[in-house]
Amino acid sequence: MPREIERKFLVTGDEWRVPGTGTRYRQGYLSTVPERTVRVRSIRDKAWLTIKGITVGATRAEYEYEIPADEASELLEDLCERPLIEKTRYRIDHQGLTWEVDEFEGENTGLIIAEVELDDEHQAIVLPGWVGKEVTGDRRYYNANLIAEPYSKWPLK
């Protein structure tokens, strides 16, 4: 079974920024129940359908399939829950790992999260200086949960 092992952190400061290097993502969810999420993601002229299982620790099942971009656009416009998740993703290499920094837009503006995918849940990592509090187990920061409770509506951030 394909697995995703990742840790998430809040981002502090701007040292991670490299102008002009981000990629815009647009994604929506067909299902956001905790036992499974079904996501449609569009990046430029490519798109994917992703099914993820429940997270245990930092691990969950993940299945991903490329789909036609025009069908993804229709799913995003007609069937996905609102609001859509819109963000710019930056990839930053640090100490042998690639960190993905997501700067959210729309109703989640102001939220910046860094994720790092690992080979093993207990893999040692060296945190970049711009990484702050770990939020791996905090469900509020799951993209699928940012639809029901967008960052802009959180009482205390």
Catalytic residues: 29
b/e for 72-102, b at 16 or more Cβ within 10 A?
A: beebbeeebeeebbbbeebebebeeeebbbb
Is residue 117 within 8 Å of residue 6, measured between CB atoms? Answer: yes
* Backbone φ and ψ of 88, nearest 5°: -115, 130
The 3-state DSSP class for residue 67 equals: strand
Separation between Cα atoms, residue 43 and residue 27, nearest integer Å:
9
Give the pair of three-digit tokens for residue 61: 């099942």
Separation between Cα atoms, residue 137 and residue 140, nearest integer Å:
9
